[in-house]
Amino acid sequence: MVAKFLAGWAFTGVALALTAPIWFTVNYLGTPDNGVIAASYIGSWFLAGAFLAVAACMSALTKNQVIAFIVATIAGFLLVMAGFDLVLASVRSWAPAIITEMVQSLSFLSHFNRLSEGVIEFPTAVFFLSMIALCLWINVQVVNLKKAQ
């Protein structure tokens, strides 16, 4: 399972690398902030890895590929939406502040936004790598439980 994830993540990295000519063209035509662009590439790669890990985890929970796709899409959508102000305001209206902070801290969007601003922080990298590790660990545990049955 981990090898399958790593292959998918590597493929995503290659796909991102294939967009580098656009970056080079922009540099030729103007003077962009290359730090922001590089951080956005790193953030996109981390985000893709997190989505792949969540999808692999959801896939392990069902035998049907269509159901796995739908559940993974919904999980990814919820993990992104948890960072929108409208969602956070809704949660703030009924939940204590600690719950709102927890929802925001689980959002992929909140962490990706920092990277897309050109700020590469250790906690952001730890978040994405921890999310990947947790989802892959759950994936392995679910598959091992299914094998035991």
Given this model, what pLDDT does residue 100 score? 87
DSSP 95: S
Say yes or no to pLDDT of 114 above 80.
Answer: yes
Given this model, what pLDDT does residue 83 score? 85
Given this model, what pLDDT does residue 139 score? 95
How much is the average pLDDT of 97-109?
89
How much is the average pLDDT of 122-128?
93
Which residues, in sequence order, are CB contacts of 107 under 8 Å at separation 6+?
A: 79, 80, 81, 82, 83
Say yes or no to pLDDT of 43 above 90.
Answer: yes
Given this model, what pLDDT does residue 119 score? 86
Given this model, what pLDDT does residue 130 score? 96
User: Do the Cβ atoms of 2 and 49 come closer than 8 Å?
Assistant: no
Token pair belonging to 102: 């927890």
Say yes or no to pLDDT of 88 above 90.
Answer: no
Q: Taking all residues of the chain, what is their mean pLDDT, rounded to a whole number? A: 92
User: Do the Cβ atoms of 48 and 131 come closer than 8 Å?
Assistant: no
Given this model, what pLDDT does residue 140 score? 94
Residue 63 vs residue 48, higher pLDDT: 48
Residue 109: half-sphere exposure toward Cβ, Cα within 13 Å: 14
Given this model, what pLDDT does residue 95 score? 86
